[in-house]
Amino acid sequence: MDIKDVLQSSFRMFFTIFAGASLAMIGVLTAFELVFAVEFFPHYFILTIMYLFVAAMGTALTQLVFYAKKELSSKQLFLRYCIQLILVIGIMLVIAWAAEWRFVWFNSVTIFIFVAAVTAVFFVVHAIELIQIKIIANSLNKELKRRDTP
């Protein structure tokens, strides 16, 4: 992948992660809890949004792992996905530590559940990206077929 493709993918991934995390946060909170949190704990609400932003930015930047001057083989691509997953888990654990999310550090089971949740989100985000790329490729193929036929 050249740098242009990597940056475009990082940009799309950032908005996918940030929008998904924000919608999940709003979906978990009821309207009353959201108003209550903003009214009585505005610093907590702002910090939560900031941590979501930092998490989305940090994990999207891991797309730079895929930068290569020549085309990657399937083994190299798989290895880079594994490296990216490890980086994403590490970034999220650091953010959980910095944000003092005590539920993550409660015991080894909660750490495992957190890592499993991060891994699931990783696969969902990449599935969404794959679907977007497939839709774009199909539309380009249809356009090319339409131009080729008289």
Q: What is the pTM of this model?
A: 0.70
Closest CA to 1 of 127, 150, 133: 133
Give dist(CA 137, CA 134) in Å, integer: 5
Q: What is the pLDDT of residues 81-99, one digit of tens each?
A: 899 899 989 988 888 888 7
* Spans of all domains in the chain: 3-148
**pLDDT tens digits, residue range 11-63?**
777 777 777 776 666 666 566 666 666 676 666 667 777 888 888 888 888 88
Residue among 68, 81, 56, 89 at smallest CA distance from 6? 68
